[in-house]
Chains A and B, each alone.
Chain A
């Protein structure tokens, strides 16, 4: 695998696949048939993780049906007007009620926790969930701004603030790979 300057592979395609299967099993352990559980992928990049987990759970572990939704948190962010750029929104697609359901929020990288804070507010517009859990493929510990921790974590990373974690997916970027990049 080609490694340009200042960029190193954190997880390869094979490792990502193993981790996704482990996360799927952990979800299965807690939610069994997913009758009362919904998966919500956070836009934009958490949706890839949610779709993959849905596929693995259905194809490899025989779960019949899982409600999967996508939540865009742009309008709930706390940095509106703080950056230079307008925050542009993505599609929210939640075709079911989350009232009294167990909700698993899914994102690719958990960093400051601010997106999750926004997601916790946003999800309430769709009803009052029974409980909410958090799944993060990469957990950048030591960089949290808020007291938010994942219930399921793929890999813990001690990246410093100057580094960026970039998650790439076959269906979007050509290959499954996670890089650690010097900014």
Chain B
């Protein structure tokens, strides 16, 4: 297959397994490009991309912007805090105004789940979801799977545990969809209060004992506690959370197997993982960030080729 089955990247849920493989193969080529002395290719020189962020972001936004610039696209940035959204403009109006300035592709982060899907039904441009509330964050899941593939050779058949705040995490949901699609075995681990009630219906197992989960897995993806989204008290104290669900070097070294540690960032050092774990040989956290640029270049290249 040499073409994506979708026009937008709204979520992993809408992708096929072949789409993911095509993105990975294309990302392999871009990874080679970004390791050259001149890291830029002219592919998207006639494409204009708007990065519209209604929610804070450092890493994702920077990663998208770098990917766009390395593809030679023209880039406009827009963040809600400095915009007319505050003056009462609707989402469709905001985006249509930007599009009338001849923008071909929109990268959007929004606090409401489904914002990207809604937008894709009302505007012409190609939409990339850079995170919509607690729903999906597809490029993060793609770069996570890509990093597993790079480290372990394949995603299929691997055991992956996602640890932490599953309830509020778009990274967890997109990761579950992506990993299941590629044939990995997935468990989630965390306090019961932070695990969605019907999570098993997605084909994942629940484990509340961290040591058991880690002894089962090849890869542990450690998520941050999303304090900004915790409307009520889900666990007694951060200290207690860390004692039960935090990974430290002693725990890591006492396991029966050598596992790979991942984290989508930003890390709360000393909460979900300690510094010596984050900086250990087993951690591929910075590799994930590097792969993020290659994955986003691949996604934008493949989507742009469908714009006529």
User: Which residues of A are at the interface with B, using a C-beta cutoff of 8 A?
Assistant: 72, 74-77, 80-81, 85-92, 121-122, 124-127
B2 touches A81 (CB 8 A): no
> Is the contact region of chain A dominated by helix, strand, or loop, or is it mixed?
loop
In the bound complex, do residue A124 and residue B38 qualify as a contact, i.e. CB atoms below 8 Å apart?
yes
Asked whether any CB of chain A lies closer than 8 Å to the CB of B41, the reply is yes
Interface segment, one of B25-33, B109-117, B138-146: B25-33
Q: Are B38 and A125 in contact (CB under 8 A)?
A: yes
Q: How far is the CA of A123 from the CA of B3 in the complex (A)?
A: 27
- The interface bits of chain B over 8-34 (1 if a CB of A lies within 8 angstroms of the residue's CB, else 0) are 000000000000001001101100110
Interface size on B, residues (CB 8 A): 28
State which of A72, A75, A87, A92 has its C-beta within 8 Å of the C-beta of B42.
A75
Bound-state Cα–Cα, A80 to B33, Å: 18
Question: Which residues of B in the span 171-208 have a Cβ within 8 Å of any Cβ on A?
Answer: none
Of B2, B3, B36, which is within 8 A of A126 by CB? B36
Contact of A89 among B29, B37, B42, B306 (CB under 8 A): B29
What does the 1/0 interface line of B37-71 toward A look like (CB < 8 Å)? 11111111010000000000000000000000001
Asked, given contacts A92-B29, A121-B42, whether A86 binds B37 with beta carbons under 8 Å apart, the answer is: no
Interface pair A88/B37, CB less than 8 Å apart:
no
B42 to chain A, nearest CB (A): 6
Chain B residue with minimal CB distance to A90?
Answer: B29
Contacts A72-B29, A75-B41: A81 and B3 contacting too (C-beta < 8 A)?
no
Q: Is B2 in contact with A80, judged by CB distance below 8 angstroms?
A: no
Q: Is the CB–CB distance between A86 and B36 below 8 Å?
A: no
Q: Does any Cβ of A come within 8 Å of B305's Cβ?
A: yes
Q: Could you say which of B36, B40, B306 has the most chain A C-beta atoms within 10 Å of its C-beta? A: B36
- Shortest CB distance A106–B (Å): 20
| Bound CA–CA A90/B2 (angstroms) | 12
Is the Cβ of B37 less than 8 Å from the Cβ of A91?
no
User: B220 an interface residue at 8 Å Cβ cutoff?
Assistant: no
- Quick one: closest A residue to B39, CB to CB? A125
- Interface contacts (Cβ under 8 Å), in number, total 61
A87 to B3, CA, bound (A): 8
For B305, what are the chain A residues with a Cβ–Cβ distance below 8 Å? Answer: 80-81, 86-87
Interface of B is mostly: loop
- What CA separation (Å) do A72 and B29 show in the bound complex? 9
Query: Smallest CB–CB gap between B28 and chain A, Å?
Result: 8
Quick one: which of B25, B29, B39, B71 has the most chain A CB within 10 A?
B29
18 additional A-B residue pairs with CB within 8 Å, beyond A86-B3, A87-B2? A74-B43, A75-B42, A75-B43, A75-B71, A75-B301, A80-B44, A81-B304, A85-B3, A86-B302, A86-B306, A87-B305, A91-B28, A122-B41, A125-B36, A125-B38, A125-B41, A126-B36, A126-B37
Residues of B bordering A, CB below 8 Å: 2-4, 22, 25-26, 28-29, 32-33, 36-44, 46, 71, 301-302, 304-308
Min CB gap B37→A, angstroms: 7
Determine the distance from Cα of A77 to Cα of B2 in the docked complex, in whole angstroms.
16
Q: Which 7 A-B pairs have the closest CB atoms?
A: A75-B41, A125-B38, A86-B305, A89-B29, A88-B2, A86-B3, A75-B43
Q: In the complex the two chains form, is A91's CB within 8 Å of B32's CB?
A: yes
A81 and B307: CB pair below 8 A? yes
Picked from A80, A87, A92, the residue with its CB within 8 Å of the CB of B32 is A92
Closest to B301 in A: A75
Q: Which residue of the partner chain A has the closest CB to B307?
A: A81
Residues of B within 8 A of A85 (CB): 2-3
Chain A residues with CB under 8 A of B33: 75, 92, 125
Could you name 11 residue pairs across A and B whose Cβ atoms are closer than 8 Å?
A75-B41, A76-B43, A81-B307, A85-B2, A86-B2, A87-B2, A91-B28, A92-B32, A124-B38, A125-B36, A125-B39
- For A126, list chain B residues within 8 Å (CB): 36-38
Task: From known contacts A75-B43, A76-B42, infer whether A89 and B36 are also in contact, taking CB-CB under 8 Å.
Answer: no
Find chain A residues with CB under 8 A from B302 CB: 86
Bound form: Cα–Cα A126–B22 in Å: 26
Measured in the bound complex, the distance between the Cα atoms of B16 and A18 in whole Å is 49
Minimal Cβ-Cβ distance residue in B for A81? B305
What CA separation (Å) do A87 and B133 show in the bound complex? 34
C-alpha spacing A76/B22, complex, angstroms: 19
Considering the complex, give the chain A residue whose CB is closest to the CB of B2: A88
Residue on A nearest B22 in the bound complex, by CB: A88
Residues of A within 8 A of B44 (CB): 80
